[in-house]
């Protein structure tokens, strides 16, 4: 439900008078949040309960009050914006995991006192993990953009900093040798084989792959199609992915049970995205592929499409990407390789190639002789 996405740990109940109240509960820890869901008082109590549960220390009367225009105040306000409430559940969970540690450490500081040098110092603590530093920088950029909208500050100190350079290209993209090696260790009919085939021929992310099943197969005049809406974009109308089913994929899923997801557990239950990620790590390790991961299959799907000559927009229709920036890297790389091949073919097929090579050899030999003579 929505409250679980916005305020993890908060749940409703009815007291003995039938009044709906809210409680923050984590295991045996429990604190009352009042009756006015989402109000300033609710948020103050929620923050205090989170802090107490995390630190084991109960905030005093003065400390429990949020300092106006502080980081705590900014984060609480940001969590109430349409922008935040429009994010998918998985996205809010990920963002909270970045924002909350920052809020815990700097929550009492006034937003107006945060300068570029302070943000640089905060990010500098994560210099050894540049991807994490860049993710924090993005979230701070959003928070301080909100502060500008509230007229608390005039400029965004996070956007005045530079992103950290990351070696490589993110998650490793599976190549054909690695794909073949994986299938040598995981035969058709096994869940490991089905999982990789499903993601490789759909480009589906883990969170979408675990939910796919026969309910997503639609019969059309042209043949069966696989249709689903990406969970990451559900709050923004959900990008609809509708793709014809490749014969290799159909050979794998065609005989799977129709009463459960394609990647169901041995008990017929659906898997979580995190659970699939953990199993993928195990399956890749068995195949001796330490660099490969589930996300790399999504990139491998895009790579294959690009190498087959698909345009960036055609790849987007398969993978469900929202912007061209990501998929253009695959098409440009494939295009460069193709241009290099065609260019070399032109060089090799030029007229009088044999005579030209002979002439070059003679010229270099002559130059070498003249050089030895001291001319």
DSSP letters spanning 36-74: STTSHHHHHHHHHHHHHHHHS----TTTTSPPTTBHHHH
Could you tell me which of 142, 133, 75 has the C-alpha nearest to residue 104? 75
Q: Which residues contact 31 (CB under 8 A, 6 or more apart)?
A: 23, 24, 45, 48, 49, 52, 53
> Residue 10 in contact with residue 53, Cβ under 8 Å?
no
Quote the CA–CA distance of 3 and 272 in Å, as a whole number.
20
The strand pair at 223-229 and 217-220 is best described as antiparallel
pLDDT of residue 65: 60
Q: What pLDDT shows up at residue 235?
A: 53
Q: What per-residue confidence (pLDDT) applies to 337? A: 65
The residue ranges of DSSP E strands in the chain, in sequence order, are 10-14, 20-26, 29-34, 217-220, 223-229, 240-244
Strand partners, 214: none
* Strand partners for 158: none
Q: Return the pLDDT at 2.
A: 46
- In this structure, are residues 171 and 299 in contact, taking their beta carbons and an 8 Å threshold? yes
* pLDDT reported for residue 61: 39
- Written as six digits, the tokens of 105 are 């450490």
Cut 0.95: pTM above it:
no
Report the C-alpha gap between 305 and 330 in whole angstroms.
9
pLDDT in tens, the chain (375 residues): 444 456 788 888 888 888 888 888 888 888 888 888 877 678 778 877 877 777 766 554 344 467 889 999 999 999 989 888 888 777 888 898 899 899 989 988 999 999 999 999 999 999 988 889 999 999 999 999 999 999 999 999 999 999 988 766 667 889 999 999 999 999 999 999 999 999 999 999 898 999 999 999 998 888 889 999 887 665 555 678 899 999 999 999 999 999 999 999 988 899 888 899 999 999 999 999 999 988 889 888 988 888 888 888 888 888 887 778 777 776 666 667 666 777 777 777 766 555 554 454 454 444 544 444 445
3-state secondary structure of 172: coil
* Residues 77, 39 contacting (CB under 8 angstroms): no
pLDDT at 154: 94
């Amino acid at each position: 439900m929505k409250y679980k996405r916005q305020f993890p740990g908060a749940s409703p109940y009815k007291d003995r008078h039938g009044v709906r109240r809210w409680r923050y509960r984590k295991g045996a820890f429990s604190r009352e949040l009042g009756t006015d869901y989402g109000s300033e008082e609710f948020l103050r109590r929620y923050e205090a309960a989170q802090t107490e549960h995390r630190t084991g220390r109960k905030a005093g009367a003065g400390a429990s009050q949020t300092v106006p225009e502080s980081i705590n105040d900014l984060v609480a306000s940001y969590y109430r914006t349409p922008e935040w409430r429009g994010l998918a559940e998985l996205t809010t969970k990920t963002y909270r995991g970045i924002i909350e540690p920052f809020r815990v450490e700097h929550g009492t500081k006034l937003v107006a006192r945060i300068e570029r040098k302070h943000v640089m110092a905060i990010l500098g603590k994560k210099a050894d993990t540049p991807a994490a530093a860049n993710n924090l920088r993005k979230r701070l950029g959003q928070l301080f953009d909100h502060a500008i909208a509230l007229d608390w500050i005039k400029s965004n100190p996070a956007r005045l900093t530079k992103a950290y350079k990351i070696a490589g290209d993110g998650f490793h993209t599976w190549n054909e040798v690695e794909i073949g090696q994986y299938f040598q260790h995981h035969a058709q009919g096994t869940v490991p084989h089905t999982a990789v085939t499903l993601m490789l021929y759909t480009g589906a992310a883990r969170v979408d792959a675990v939910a796919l099943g026969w309910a997503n197969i639609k019969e059309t005049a042209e043949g069966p199609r696989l249709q689903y809406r990406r969970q990451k974009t559900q709050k923004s109308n959900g990008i609809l992915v509708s793709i014809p089913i490749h014969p290799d994929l159909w050979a794998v899923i065609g005989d799977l049970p129709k009463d459960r997801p394609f990647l169901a557990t041995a008990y017929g239950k659906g898997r979580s995205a995190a659970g699939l990620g953990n199993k993928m790590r195990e399956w890749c390790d068995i195949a001796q592929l330490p660099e490969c991961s589930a996300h790399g299959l999504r990139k491998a799907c895009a790579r294959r499409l690009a190498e087959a000559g698909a345009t960036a927009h055609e790849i987007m229709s398969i993978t469900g990407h929202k912007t061209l920036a990501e998929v253009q890297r695959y098409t440009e790389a494939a295009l460069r390789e193709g241009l290099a091949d065609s260019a070399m073919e032109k060089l090799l097929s030029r007229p009088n190639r044999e005579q030209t090579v002979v002439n070059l050899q003679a010229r270099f030999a002559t130059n070498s002789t003249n050089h030895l003579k001291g001319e």
